[in-house]
Each structure stands twice: as structure tokens, then as C-alpha cells.
Amino acid sequence: MIIDNYDPVLIVESIVLRSLLFMLEWILAAFSGINFTSQLEQIMPLDIVVGTQWGDEGKGRYVDLLSAQADFVARYNGGDNAGHTVTVGQQTFKLHLIPSGIVHPHTVGVIGNGVAINPYVLMDEINSLVQSGVDISPDRLKLSYGAHLITPAHLALDEAQESARGKSKIGTTLRGIGPAYTSKVSRQGIRLLDMLDEDLFIAKINKHVAEVNLLLTKIYEIEPLKPGPFEDDFLRFASLLKPHIYDVSSLLSGALKNDQRVLAEGAQGTLLDLDHGTYPFVTSSTPTAGGALVGLGLGMGYEDRIIGVTKSFQTRVGSGPFPTEISGDVALHLRGTGEQPWDEFGTTTGRPRRVGWLDLVLLRYAVRINGINELAITKLDVLSGLERLLICTSYQKDGTEYEVLPLGPGELMEYKPIYQEFQGWQEEITSIREWGHLPEQAIKYVQSIENLSGIRIRLISVGPERNQLIDRDLS
Ligand code: IMP
């Protein structure tokens, strides 16, 4: 199936319609004296970066690129289960919570209400950035009062639940994510707002530990936690974090109205989304683009670029279906040995990632669920040297071919991938910066992804360094 995104009839229709709207507004304004502003004239300064796969697509490098032009970079979901590597001068950090854009001196880092914060991790990140000279004053890092806390009790529960799942374990990052979002949804969570009243805060922590202890001892039959040791820690965190606690919704909405640029950074990916991923092998938050609005408290209508980041192949860490998964020499080629930081081993857990061919059924699904209007590819260079490349274009099940999953991606393993084969290229492409200079086969591969997804690919990374990038609008 080829989807043509550049249908000339549609383009002409759209121009005519927009011109008519413009004229109508002009006439209304002339007669009424009121200045109507159309979508056409409005600046829409919110960009959203989402992962189209199971996380680890390499979103960080595009967030880094776009945050250079942003006034605010805001994380909207997940917790320290995510991880990206940031370089400041000669130093390299693995950040899990603080948006990497904060290393740009002009950018304000924001953590939204959709994020779950482990304060131990947050304080470590703040301290290591401060030590290397990055300003993390309350003016530069704003935390939503509505963000929920991850406590040591959530970590203990995550571990207990995973081991109780036995063979059907999810393979969580053991960062307390599921239990913290469970507390949130069951309306028993502890929010940053609670830190503003110390007595109430400690009372809530103690109640929470007592409740989790009941589960640990009665259901999972393991030792309970003692609140004492972390009560003091949490009081200290409260006093340090208080000045950062903010109404993020109001801050960002005000900024957007003033045409300041906001970059919303999603963690994980579409197929790990609690509602739209490969349930139950998902995370417990909303990595998809809608999660940016809910997780930052923004209304609709500000979105400009919704950038879906996709690796040029596919990876997954943890359990769950992965129809295009491969093993053997090609898998080793794609994964790397683990010696290089960009090899396919988890940033947070160090686990080797499962690898496979790019799956266009799932990519089209991600385009639909997120409303993606631009794709960005990572790691095209990793495909160099492979004899042939495969792209899954549809699935087969019980003799029927499917280009669209009839009931979402939950029961994926019942489907057999149907592949289109491409000739590979042998050339190194890491020093190429111009689209037209890529080997013919690489161009064909990228163009096929565009044709099969219906979305233009503007950015292509050809190596781990910041400048190892092809921007097709510039080349
Ligand atoms: P949790 O988010 O720790 O509960 O883990 C649930 C599932 O999401 C597991 O399969 C994890 O491996 C996966 N996961 C969570 N965060 C990431 C991430 O940042 N990248 C890739 N996989 C992730």
C-alpha cells in the first residue's frame, strides 16, 4: 500500500479553502471593527517530540537540537524509567528526569503533572548538574505542583509485584513506576503540592508506607519497610524543592500566548503507552502526544510540529510481543557489542535490547495515535554494511492480510509479518550531511518509509554526534 501524502488536488483545495477563510475574516473585520485571528495567522509555538516505537528511539538528540530554539523544554510523562545522555563541555551525564534542554543557558526546564518524580533521583541530578556549573535555580527548573512522588515503598512494591508475576513478568525497570501511577489513579498518591505543609506531608508518607506494608507482608509475604529512615530524607527534599514548585499549566499557557516556544518532551514510546501500547506490556503513563497536553495542563490548538522519532530499525527492552524481532548476526550488527554508549543496551538498566526490522504497520499506527506530522529517523548509519534490509509492510493472520491492526497492538504475536526487501548499502555514511550525497539505496530506504507511512522525513541522524545529522530542509 502506498499512501501519497502530497496529493496535488488536496494541496490546491487546501490553499483555496484557506484563502476563502482569510477573505471572510478580512470582510468581517472590515465591517465589525473586530480583529478575528485565523489559524492561518496564529503562531502555534508548541512542538511535541514523541517516540513511535517501544522507547529508546533516540528522541534525546532531537530534543537537544530543538531545545536550542525553545524557551521552555517540558517533560510530560513517565519517571526515571527513562534515560538520556547529555554532554556539557567535557562532561557526560545520564539524566532520567530533568529535561536535557536545561543545559542551554536560555532554556527553562519544566517537569509536568504527568511525570512521577523519585526525589532521590531528582536531587542527584540537580546536584551533579550544579557541580558542573549548570544553573539549576528555581527560575530555571520548574516542577508542577501536580506531579506525583515515587517513594521507596513504591520501589519495594514494584520489585515484589514483578517477582510474583513469575514467567509473565513485564520486565519493568524496577523504578516504582507502576505502583506510583497506581497510587495516583486510586487517589492515594502524594503530590509535590503536599510538600508545602510539612506535617501533612509526613502524615501522608506514613499512611502510605503503612498501606504498602500491608500489601508487602500480607500479599507478597516479604519484610515491611520502616518509615523512619526516609522520613528525614523527604523533609529535606521538601525544603530544597519547595522553591521550584509551580503552576506549570499557567506558566506554559502564558508563554504560548506570548508566542514563546515550548518543546514538549515525551519519555518512552507509543507502543508502551498505557492505553495505546502493547498492553499489558506497557508502562503506566501516557507517552503519546495527547499526554503532552494532559501532562502539562495545556489546552488544544497550540501544536505546531508533532515529531515522531523512529529508529531506522526497531528495538524493545523488557517482555512483550515484537513480531519483527530477529536474532543471529544481523541482530548483533544492529545491537552492537555494548562497548559504545550508543549500542543497544538500556540507559537505565543496562539490559541488552531486543532488535528487529522496522515495522510499518506499527509506524502507521503511531502516526495515527499521535497525529504525527513529521518523522525523524535515527541511526541510519547502523544499517551500513548489511547486505539486505527488510521492512514489515503488513501482517498475515489466518490467511487474511492486514495493513491496519483490527484490534490494536495488544495481541501482536498472533500476526506474521509480511516483508518488503531492500538492497543494503556498504558505504560508511557518518560524514554525510547532504541528503543527495547518501547512497542511492539509503535514499530508497528512507523514501519507502515516507511512502509507506504517508509522512515526510525531515531529519536523519547518521552518527551519535550532534552534527551527524541531515536536515533535508537545509541540504
Ligand atoms: P516500567 O515503566 O518500569 O513500569 O516498565 C514497563 C515496561 O516499559 C518495561 O518493558 C520496560 O522495559 C519498558 N520501559 C520503561 N521505560 C522505558 C524506556 O525509557 N525505554 C524503553 N523501555 C522502557
Residues 41-78: tens digit of each pLDDT: 466 899 999 999 999 999 998 998 999 999 999 999 99
- Out of 26-35, 263-272, 425-434, pick the least confident: 26-35
Q: Tell how far the Cα of 54 is from the centroid of ligand 1, in angstroms.
A: 8
Instruction: Give yes or no for residue 8 having a pLDDT over 80.
Output: no
Q: Tell how far the Cα of 50 is from the centroid of ligand 1, in angstroms.
A: 15
Distance of CA 25 to the CA centre of its chain: 38
Residue from 52, 81, 325 whose mutation best tests the ligand 1 pocket (most atoms within 8 A of CB): 81
The pairs formed by 429-437 with CB atoms below 8 angstroms and a separation of 24 or more are 429/380, 429/381, 429/384, 429/462, 430/381, 430/462, 430/463, 430/468, 432/462, 432/470, 433/467, 433/469, 433/470, 433/475, 434/470, 434/475, 435/460, 435/470, 435/472, 435/475, 436/475
Q: What is the mean pLDDT of residues 239-257?
A: 97
Q: pLDDT by residue (tens digit) across 178-204? A: 999 999 999 999 999 999 999 999 999
Instruction: Give yes or no for residue 171 having a pLDDT over 90.
Output: yes
Instruction: Specify the residue with its C-alpha closest to ligand 1, atom 8.
Output: 283
Instruction: Give yes or no for residue 3 having a pLDDT over 60.
Output: no
Q: What is the mean pLDDT of residues 16-44?
A: 61
Q: Tell how far the Cα of 468 is from the centroid of ligand 1, in angstroms.
A: 28
pLDDT, mean over the chain: 91
**Residues having CB within 6 Å of any atom of ligand 1:** 54-56, 81-82, 170-173, 175, 177-178, 267-268, 272, 281, 283-284, 317-318
Distance of CA 237 to the CA centre of its chain: 27
Is the CB of residue 298 less than 8 Å from the CB of residue 292? yes
Residue from 283, 322, 345 whose mutation best tests the ligand 1 pocket (most atoms within 8 A of CB): 283
pTM of whole model > 0.85? yes
Q: Tell how far the Cα of 283 is from the centroid of ligand 1, in angstroms.
A: 6
Indicate which residues carry an active-site annotation: 56, 84
Q: Tell how far the Cα of 318 is from the centroid of ligand 1, in angstroms.
A: 7
Instruction: Specify the residue with its C-alpha closest to ligand 1, atom 16.
Output: 81
Residue percentage of the chain with pLDDT more than 70: 91
| pLDDT score, position 40 | 42
